[in-house]
Structure 1
């Protein structure tokens, strides 16, 4: 198995198109054609993690956070980032990072928090914009059904709980084949008129490569006419943060104790308690202050996230409890999710969960 095959499996879970524009995801170090001896999965890639990969004969590290976030002008080993890059290159270790691609995936960082805390029926808190695409194409009437089935098989036409969704209209298409053409229908140098079906399907942007490939493979014409539009509709299955409900309402104090136990947290910074039961819970792994308004809008009783600043706790405005449990703590189980995914897809391959401690924050 080569690096590129492993990354394709990871992108089935979290396509890189889901990542935020500011992010740096994908293969950061290494040759995508290199044969993989073993995979080490970690939250952060530090020097001790690279050392662990060497000890375990893993030449591919799959990391949640990207070690290279902004541009590097020098690689001299002066900073911890430069030292990690040098160590990976010297030891022929590839590094792949997922970050906000996995943040925005329906099965990702936030779904894992919901699983650990027993939050049921989770929905996306902030749906990502620009993730729904619409494909319009034209095909001879007799070939329309075969083409639609190929598009559905590739992932097009899924809307919420419904699949195989499309809209078709019939009309007449025309074209004239040039001297070097090999027309499926009609003759070279003669205008040809064909009864055609216009097919419209929507799909998630992460599936675009598969959709276009299926279109070109299944379409009978030598040259395929098609259009792609980005829709304004919100995709309720892709986005950051999640909100759901507990099976049974808990007191604020009992829920805080539950969070500490389940998330291995020693302390929680929070806004004032409101003296009411916790039933609806919003979560967002990592730095989530930008989602306070969305959490309040969802009518959640509490919002669990990290990296809140002093004045941001005022934004609770006695409408919600804001709970900062720590950046590492909200994302710590992400690597377990990735190991489980890879193990299911390639069960006979060496996949290791990093044992190295990478949380930079300590508590006295």
Structure 2
């Protein structure tokens, strides 16, 4: 199995197109054609993690956070980033980062937090925009079902828990083949009318190349007429954060105790308690203060996240409780999620959970 093959498996869970624009995801170091001996899964890639990979004979590190974030103009070993990259290159170890692609996955970082907290009926908190495309094309009636089948195989027609979704309408198309054309149906220089099916299918932006390749490969016409639209529809499967419900409501103090215990937090920084029961909980792993407004609008009783600044706690406005448990603490179970996923996808393969503690924040 190659590095590229492992990347394809990871991108089934978290397509790189779903990552935020500011991010740096995918293969950061190494050759995609290299054969993989073993995989080490970590939250952060540091020198100690590369050392661990060497000791465990793993030549691919799958990291949640990217070690290379800004551009590297030199690699001389003058800081921890350059030293880590140098060590990986010297030891022929590839590094793959998944970060916000997994943040935006319905089964990603925030789903894992919900699982640990015991939340049910989970939904995306902030749906990601510009993820849905719509394809319209026109095909002879007799060829419509064959073309639809190929489009479905390429990833079109999936809406939530439904697949093979489409809409068709029959009508008459016309065209006149030019001098240098090679028409499948009709004659050069003559206007031809053909009974056609107009086919509408939606697909994820990340599947666009496959869908359009399937269209061009399987459409019978020499010149394919088609239109692609970007839709504003709310995507229920891709986006930042999640909101769910506790099976049984509890008091705010009881929930904070539950939060601290299950998420293994050293401390919980929180806004003013409202003396109200907690039932609806929003979560966003990592730096999530930007979602405070969305959590309030969704009716959350508590919003669990990290890296909240002093004045941002005021934004709770006594409409909910903001609970900051720490950046590392919100994301610490992500590597377990990735190990479980890869183990199911690649059974009988060496997949290791990193034992290195990479949290840069210590508590006294």
TM-score by length of 1: 0.96
Specify the SS of the correspondent of 1:233: coil
User: Mind listing any 5+ residue stretches in structure 2 that lack a counterpart?
Assistant: none
Q: 2 CA distance for matches of 1:206 and 1:243?
A: 25
Q: Give the C-alpha shift of residue 176 in structure 1.
A: 4.8
Q: Give the C-alpha shift of residue 181 in structure 1.
A: 5.3
Q: 2 CA distance for matches of 1:154 and 1:85?
A: 36
Q: 1 CA distance for matches of 2:256 and 2:50?
A: 36
Residues 193 and 298 of structure 1, relative CA distance in 2, 3 Å threshold: same
Alignment match, 2:266: 266
Q: Give the C-alpha shift of residue 155 in structure 1.
A: 2.8
Q: 2 CA distance for matches of 1:30 and 1:226?
A: 39
Alignment match, 1:155: 155
Specify the SS of the correspondent of 1:75: coil
Alignment match, 2:34: 34
Mapped pair 1:321 → 2:284: no
- 135-144 vs 167-176, greater mean Cα deviation: 167-176
- 286-295 vs 203-212, greater mean Cα deviation: 203-212
Q: 1 CA distance for matches of 2:20 and 2:256?
A: 31
Q: Give the C-alpha shift of residue 188 in structure 1.
A: 4.9
Q: Give the C-alpha shift of residue 151 in structure 1.
A: 2.0
Specify the SS of the correspondent of 1:362: coil
Across the aligned residues of Structure 1 and Structure 2, the Cα RMSD in angstroms comes to: 1.6
Q: Give the C-alpha shift of residue 353 in structure 1.
A: 0.8
Q: 2 CA distance for matches of 1:224 and 1:338?
A: 41
Q: Give the C-alpha shift of residue 156 in structure 1.
A: 1.9
Alignment match, 2:220: 220
Q: 1 CA distance for matches of 2:141 and 2:132?
A: 27
Q: Give the C-alpha shift of residue 209 in structure 1.
A: 2.8
Q: Give the C-alpha shift of residue 349 in structure 1.
A: 1.4
Q: 1:136 touches 1:200 (CA, 8 Å); kept in 2?
A: yes
Q: 2 CA distance for matches of 1:57 and 1:192?
A: 65
Q: 1 CA distance for matches of 2:86 and 2:226?
A: 46
> Residues 243-265 of structure 1: CA distance to partner in whole angstroms, max 9, x if unpaired?
01000001111111111111111
Q: 1 CA distance for matches of 2:358 and 2:274?
A: 35
Q: 2 CA distance for matches of 1:225 and 1:32?
A: 36
Q: 1:37 touches 1:350 (CA, 8 Å); kept in 2?
A: yes
- 27-36 vs 206-215, greater mean Cα deviation: 206-215
Q: Give the C-alpha shift of residue 229 in structure 1.
A: 1.4
Q: Give the C-alpha shift of residue 362 in structure 1.
A: 0.6
Alignment of 1:84-99 (within 5 A): 84-99=84-99
Q: 1:38 touches 1:60 (CA, 8 Å); kept in 2?
A: yes
TM-score by length of 2: 0.96
Alignment match, 1:246: 246
Residues 35 and 224 of structure 1, relative CA distance in 2, 3 Å threshold: farther
Alignment match, 1:138: 138
Residues 3 and 175 of structure 1, relative CA distance in 2, 3 Å threshold: farther
Alignment match, 1:230: 230
Residues 347 and 223 of structure 1, relative CA distance in 2, 3 Å threshold: farther
Q: 1:27 touches 1:95 (CA, 8 Å); kept in 2?
A: yes
Q: 2 CA distance for matches of 1:215 and 1:354?
A: 43
Alignment match, 2:75: 75
Q: 2 CA distance for matches of 1:10 and 1:356?
A: 22
> Residues 316-355 of structure 1: CA distance to partner in whole angstroms, max 9, x if unpaired?
1111000000000101111111111111111121111111
> Residues 268-299 of structure 1: CA distance to partner in whole angstroms, max 9, x if unpaired?
00011111111000000000000000000011
Alignment of 1:266-305 (within 5 A): 266-305=266-305
- 155-164 vs 122-131, greater mean Cα deviation: 155-164
Q: 1:245 touches 1:280 (CA, 8 Å); kept in 2?
A: yes
Q: 1 CA distance for matches of 2:342 and 2:180?
A: 47
Q: Give the C-alpha shift of residue 178 in structure 1.
A: 5.9
